[in-house]
Structure 1
Amino acid sequence: MKLIKAYVRYRKMEEVYDALKHEGFYSMTFVECEGTGRYSDHEKEHISYKYPFAEAYRVIKLEILAADEHVIPVIQLIRKNARTGYNGDGVIVVSPVDSAYKVRTDEEGILAI
């Protein structure tokens, strides 16, 4: 089991979500945040001036737990639907998950997701 974290443009999140849902991946978490990175001037979506050291841009962090066999399909869906071809398209990070527990039913492991 893996935890996939994807940082994508705010305006691309709906496309990513719809693609994942269409393929049967329903359980995911979205967090609106601001980040810094390499962005093209004409691709700036949201600038925050509360950080004097850098401009911050509006991004969405998507988190999804996936069985090992679903990791590559999920990554491919995110990459395909989040890509614009410009700097700032985001990054995907995959981490191992030792265990997972469903609070309501006490299911464990892959059954919890």
Structure 2
Amino acid sequence: MKLIKAYIRAKLLEDVYSSLRNEGYRSMTVFEGEGTGRYSDPNKQHGSLNFPAMHTHVVKIEIAAKAEQINSIVQIIQENGRTGSKGDGIVFVTPIEQAFRIRDGKEGANILN
């Protein structure tokens, strides 16, 4: 099992989310956030009440998936989250050592079904 963390432009969330769902990837968590990186849109730089540094509004999508699904999921995110401009985001894939379903205590990759 792997954990995908994708940081994308907020305005592209609907496209990415819909495309993932259409391909059968329905279990994900979405967070709103503010990020800083090497790129900030010079036309939209502004401070935040919570984070006074220059920032960009981002969305983080987390998806736990079986290893054989990773390439497909990453491809969908890249195709639908890309504008071709700096600041489109980044995707991280990390291993999941263990997973437990809270409801019934079952564990392992089968809980993702």
Report what 1:41 is aligned to. 42
TM-score (norm 2): 0.90
What CA deviation, in whole Å up to 9, does each residue of 1:60-110 have, x standing for no partner?
Answer: 010000100000000000000000011110000010001111111222111
Percent sequence identity over aligned pairs: 42
| 2:8 alignment counterpart | 8
The list of structure 1 runs, each at least 4 consecutive aligned residues, that deviate by more than 4 angstroms after superposition, is none
Q: What do residues 3-29 of structure 1 show as CA deviations (whole Å, max 9, x unaligned)?
A: 000000000011000000000001100
Structure-to-structure mapping, 1:1-113, within 5 angstroms? 1-37=1-37, 38-42=39-43, 44=44, 47-50=46-49, 51-52=51-52, 54-113=53-112
SS at 1:41 equivalent: coil
Q: How many pairs were matched up?
A: 110
Q: Which runs of 5+ in 2 are unaligned?
A: none
For structure 1, the 5+ residue unaligned runs are none
Which AA in structure 2 matches 1:5? K
Shift of residue 57 of structure 1? 1.1
- Distance in 1 separating the partners of 2:96 and 2:15: 26
TM-score, normalised relative to structure 1: 0.90
Mapped to 2, the partners of 1:57 and 1:14 lie a distance apart of 18
Do the aligned residues in 1 keep the contact of 2:40 with 2:54 (CA within 8 Å)? Answer: no
Contact 1:13 1:60 in 2 (8 A): yes
- Is the CA contact 2:40–2:55 (under 8 Å) kept in the aligned structure 1? no
Contact 1:9 1:59 in 2 (8 A): yes
